[in-house]
Structure 1
Amino acid sequence: MIGIIDYGAGNLHSVVKAVNRFGVKTKIISELSEFIGIDKIIFPGVGNAKKTMELLNNIGFSISIKDYINSKVPFLGICLGMQLLLDYSDEGDTGCLGVIKGNVSPFNQNLKVPHMGWNQVKQAVTHPVFRGIPDNSDFYFIHCFYVTTQETSQAVGYTQYGREFASVIAKENVIGVQFHPEKSGEIGIALLENYCVHL
């Protein structure tokens, strides 16, 4: 059973629709009791880091997410769901989940933000989430902030926009992608299938 976290602002419909293509069971997690019986978790995040962390803390999701991650349940964070895995975000000067050491910073003010549209992901390492996906494949992005991991080995994919930034991060059972795989055509679906079916 794949649990998809619903905190009131995520892009749930397109993610659920994409995952349902693989014939796996899904459950929308909108309250703490619904974490029960989950084998994998997807966190499709959109919105503001500070407001989202306040909401996650208030409803108790922060503790549950970290507990499941610590118990080695596979976890996929998408866009803001990836950024909140880090220690700290400059968006609202907020502490995040602290699952992966590092920070979230705004793009240079001289760049057009949000960084929106198709862009390449350079695979830094061979990781199971990239199974069958050619290097430098295009994925769909929309974001104003980027991630820097303290451990460079945890940045497994990079993208160029004004600077090189980590667009895919991984640590043990945790994966984060800055782009939206559910909006990235067949390549994005392939990445989701790798996570949902093959990992």
Structure 2
Amino acid sequence: MQKIVVLDYGMGNLHSVASALKKVAPTDEVVLATTPEEAHGADRLIVPGVGAIRDCMEGFIRPGFVPLLNQCIEAGLPILGICVGMQIMMKRSEENNGVDCLGLFPQPVKFFGTDLQENGQRLKVPHMGWNQVQQKIDHPLWRDIENGSRFYFVHSYYVPAENNNAVAGETDYGVKFAAAVTRNNIFATQFHPEKSADAGMQLLKNFVGWNGAA
């Protein structure tokens, strides 16, 4: 039995993530950890997140989750970031007048803007709903997921896909952005797999079976 830890730092409803994990890994232990101590003995780690980046960063730093995350990365534990949980792994976000993030990836997080357009039509911000994801690399977390599958997004800020060699999946919404990024034992998605029907459940199932190697 594995111990799958979902970090709970007060940002977003984590029960949908935990519920989805219990469906794809019914014999494993799923723990919502509010402290590093509760995460002790984790076999894999999930960093979710919903809300403003400044609050997310403060909530993540306060309980001591930064040293925990770094230890898990160094130990080679499989790590999955979701939504703002992906964005806090970047270098810096434009949100809240600019906020330094964890810097696990060198890319910035940018605002879609107030005049986002495609084919002369204004697009709504936040980007909310289903959109196709083009797989840019062959990765274990894409196993049995058809290229171009649709996933569920809710966000006003994005990680650029251009000049970004960490991109594992790409989506177009007025601009090409990273739907998923990866490096070593980290895989992170801008979309919500727990809300993305069969494709999302397959990705979570793949994560539960992933050994952390590309």
TM-score by length of 2: 0.89
- Report the identity percentage: 40
Match of 1:189, SS state, is helix
Q: Which residue of 1 aligns with 2:38?
A: 34
Alignment partner for residue 110 of structure 1, among 111, 115, 118? 115
Q: Secondary structure at the match of 2:95?
A: coil
The answer on whether the counterparts of 2:145 and 2:202 sit within 8 Å (CA) in structure 1 is yes
Q: Structure 2 unaligned runs (5+)?
A: 117-123
The answer on whether the counterparts of 1:158 and 1:166 sit within 8 Å (CA) in structure 2 is yes
1:97 to 91, 96, 102: 102
* Aligned residue type for 2:204: L
**What do you get for the CA RMSD once the two structures are aligned?**
1.4
The aligned length equals: 199
Distance 2:13 2:192 in 1: 10
Q: Is the 8 A contact 1:108 1:162 kept in 2?
A: no
Alignment of structure 1 residues 33-72 onto 2, 5 Å: 33-72=37-76
Any conservation in 1 of the 2:161–2:176 contact (CA below 8 Å)? no
- 2:22 is the alignment partner of 1:7: no
- Asked if structure 2 preserves the Cα contact closer than 8 Å seen for 1:102 and 1:150, the reply is no
- C-alpha contact (below 8 Å) 2:33/2:39 kept by paired residues: yes
Counterpart selection for 1:130 from 142, 148, 164: 142
Moved more, 106-115 or 184-193: 106-115
Evaluate the alpha carbon distance shift between residue 88 and residue 149 of structure 1 in structure 2; reply closer, same or farther with a 3 A threshold. farther
Higher strand share: 1
CA distance, structure 2, for counterparts of residue 104 and residue 84 of structure 1: 9
Asked which structure has the greater CA Rg, the reply is 2
Query: Once the 2 structures are TM-superposed, how far is the Cα of residue 151 of structure 1 from its aligned partner?
Result: 6.2
Cα distance in 2 for residues equivalent to 1:50 and 1:64:
20
